[in-house]
Structure 1
């Protein structure tokens, strides 16, 4: 059935699903495993994606303002920690994830690497000279 040109694609899809006979089950969209269950609860799914990722050649002042606005969204998100860990484990090279910019995530990853190196047995202690 043709839809008026002003009708959104989403509204057309909803009408199409509603027009199906009741005996036909609605198709299930499988969850992507890499997203994990936290992804569905992310507050940013309801916000403008442009807030979290920089446009090309963005002026510094605009970038800083946009990143702060994105961090405010992250601050009220119930899955912020899971999102941050996802971004650190991937690692995600761009955008604001879990309240951290790409540069802030690089700092966290550097600290984690240094801490892990310090915890290794024998790390940071000079080798013992052989008696001879």
Structure 2
């Protein structure tokens, strides 16, 4: 009987975790990755087209996104892409869990059009 309760609890956690991933991934892709059991386990990737995603706001200008990013602990390899007019930035930012969250920021008409948030427990291994 105890095993059934444990199995039911684990199933409930898995289903609840899968349902919470997209909202949680807006601010903590690293935690959303820990709740991922389908597709690619322990990996989270989701593209957002509205609202706030990590340090970005959909619709904000390239200049304001650049200014905000320059105040964050960017990797040296990510800094050069901020000076150009590339249609997509791929920025890795440290997460509170100790890993990195990667944000692929797509611009349209010099404004943030979408942001893909990505994190994997296995990244860097």
Tell me the TM-score normalised to structure 1 length.
0.25
Indicate the structure with greater helix content: 1
Q: More relative contact order in 1 or in 2 (CA 8 Å, sep 6+)? A: 2
Tell me the TM-score normalised to structure 2 length.
0.26
Indicate the structure with greater strand content: 2
Q: Which has the larger radius of gyration?
A: 1
